[in-house]
Chains A and B, each alone.
Chain A
Amino acid sequence: MTRSTTWALAASAAAFALTLSACGGSAAAPGTDTTAGGDAAPSGPIRIGIKYDQPGLGLQEGTNFTGFDVEVATYVAGELGYPEDQIEFIQAPSPQRETMLEGDQVDLIFATYSITDTRKERISFAGPYFIAGQDLLVRADDTSITGPETLTGKRLCSVAGSTPAENVKKEHPDVELIEYDTYSLCVSALDSGAVDALTTDNVILAGYAAQPQWEGKFRVVGNPFSTERYGVGVPKGETERCEAVNAALEKMIEDGAWQTALDETVGRSGFEPDDRNPPSVDEDCA
């Protein structure tokens, strides 16, 4: 019960901050004004599920976490009243994300999490905060693959329980699909020639292509064939928390922090998002 009141307060605090920034030019630093609420300060740290092994999006580098998802998560947490030292990042592997939210293992998930109707049956989404498209990563010298229709007889790697794997299974049953636990295992297999292509969202692929140890070895085909709307996973029924996240995301896009975060993470690999970005935050938190 304390948690839900906390969220309600955090939501109003975020809305308040949004109004402030909209009117008053310089945004009030979160945590200065909002602490006026006194006991509004949340009791424990906020637990955020992210990827640990996705360069450019969510990557554990020693004790630090880097990437676009991490930047957005940090910003949103700040808006909800959690300074950086009050954020606990938890690894959220693709196949476990719904389970982690349902089991209250995390409060929010920022982990390249596509908004789908199937998932909405189990959890709620805030966002979207990025529009990606499914694409293919191939070896740099491989010109035979130009899109999903050229994959017949090829070996395709993806991650168990992820949207791209489900898409491919449905639409290209003649492609040989292998599913691993993580994309980094797929990248290793692509490098050694055990698989011919790796499919997932363009922005994720770009992150791998730009990792120092893979530099120059892979290229993104650049022919996105789906629309993946990245949302923030919220446990079902936590509407107030979800709306607070939406408000924070809108503010982030509006005040330019979104663009900065993008440029400093995946943008560094030379990746430029298509014109569907930045998206309008239109999830209704159902």
Chain B
Amino acid sequence: MERLMQMLSDYNVLAAFWTTIQLTVYGAIGALVLGTIVAVMRVSPVAVFSRAAALWTNVILYTPLTLIAFFFAFGVLIKMNIRLLPEPPATLLDQHFAMGVVAIAVYHSSLVAEALRSGINTVPLGQAEAARALGLGFGQSLREVILPQAFRGAIAPLGSTLIALCKNTTVVATISVTEAAALMKSMIEFYSDLIVPIFVIMVTGFVILTLPLGMFFTWWSKRAAVLR
């Protein structure tokens, strides 16, 4: 027990989970924006856009997130020397964090796009036909008629994408960001005798993060479901 207290004073578990939460929130916003753009491109009448969107989705879906994180940390940040945050005050570690957010956003944008596409598929054909009959163009009918319904139909898959995203933030441990999984690894290395309590603590943290998310999205998707 004493050693457990010692360990908890050596390692800031709450700070690590705070990093995880930040990665999740920023990553989710980025993924939603990027994913919506990709989804709109995917269904757009311009063939180049829909092909590019399809290529983007597939290539990203087939690539490990670890590799995408490496690409942004060591390719874009280190080799291309692109900094996302103003320096100072940002440190190199902050830049790694920012690249971690981008990697998470990029990776999950393909999942968001797929979720939205399945949401668009839930919108009855009559809706699109009615919009066209009213004389709305592609952009208008998408904005006014299709997407609002598509988002509501996509709430459940978007919710599970968000939960997946939250868990996947652990992957940026591979690019020197000290979030929950990185902290867990170094705790286990230095307090090997406490491996089980460490695992229990960290897992509890994740259950606390993901369980309410899951319940909230279940409730929301039921509430927002379009009655047909």
**Given contacts A178-B176, A185-B74, A194 and B189 within 8 Å (CB-CB):** no
| A178 close to B92 (CB less than 8 A) | yes
Partner of B78, one of A102, A161, A181, A194: A194
Instruction: Judge if B81 is at the interface, Cβ distance under 8 Å.
Output: yes
Asked if residues B92 and A155 are in contact (CB atoms below 8 Å), the reply is yes
B228 CB-CB contact with A under 8 Å: no
Please report A residues at the B interface, Cβ cutoff 8 Å.
95, 98-99, 102, 155, 160-161, 176, 178-181, 185, 188-189, 192-195
**B contact residues, total (Cβ < 8 Å):** 14
Q: Contacts of B192 on A, CB cut-off 8 Å?
A: 99, 102
Q: What would be 27 A-B contacts, judged by CB atoms less than 8 Å apart? A: A99-B189, A99-B192, A160-B176, A160-B186, A161-B189, A176-B91, A176-B92, A178-B91, A178-B92, A178-B93, A179-B176, A181-B174, A181-B176, A185-B74, A185-B78, A188-B74, A188-B79, A189-B78, A192-B78, A192-B79, A192-B81, A193-B81, A194-B77, A194-B78, A194-B81, A194-B92, A195-B92
CA–CA, A18 and B93, complex, Å: 52
Interchain CA distance A155-B176 in the complex, whole Å: 15
State A181–B174 Cα separation when bound (angstroms).
8
User: What residue of chain B has the Cβ atom nearest to residue A186's Cβ?
Assistant: B78
Q: How far is the CB of B83 from chain A (nearest CB, A)?
A: 9
Closest to A188 in B: B78
User: Which residues of A lie under 8 Å from residue B74 when comparing CB positions?
Assistant: 185, 188
Known: A155-B92, A185-B74. 10 other contacts (CB 8 A): A98-B189, A160-B186, A161-B186, A176-B91, A178-B92, A178-B93, A192-B79, A192-B81, A194-B78, A194-B92
Interface of B is mostly: helix
Question: What B residues does A181 contact at CB under 8 A?
Answer: 174, 176
Contact with A along B69-82 (1 / 0, CB 8 A): 00000100111010
Cα-based distance from A195 to B92 in the complex (angstroms): 8
Q: Which B80-94 residues have a C-beta within 8 angstroms of A?
A: 81, 91-93
Closest to A96 in B: B189
With both beta carbons as reference points, the residue of chain B lying nearest to A180 in the complex is identified as B176
The smallest beta-carbon distance between B33 and chain A, in angstroms, is 27
Residue in chain B with minimal CB distance to A193: B81
**Contact residues, B139-189 vs A (CB, 8 A):** 174, 176, 186, 189
Residues of chain B within 8 A of A192, CB atoms compared: 78-79, 81
Residues of A within 8 A of B91 (CB): 176, 178
B 26-46 contacts with A by CB, 8 A: none
* Residue of A with least CB distance to B92: A178
Which residues from B are CB-within-8-Å of A195? Answer: 92
Interface residues of B in 182-217 (CB under 8 A from A): 186, 189, 192
The distance from the CB of B129 to the nearest CB of chain A, in whole angstroms, is 55
Cβ of A95 and Cβ of B93 under 8 Å apart? no
Residues from chain B with a CB closer than 8 A to the CB of A102 are: 192
In the complex, A178→B189 CA distance in Å? Answer: 19
Q: Which residues of A contact B96 (CB under 8 A)?
A: 178
Q: Which residues from chain A contact B176 at a C-beta distance below 8 Å? A: 160, 178-181
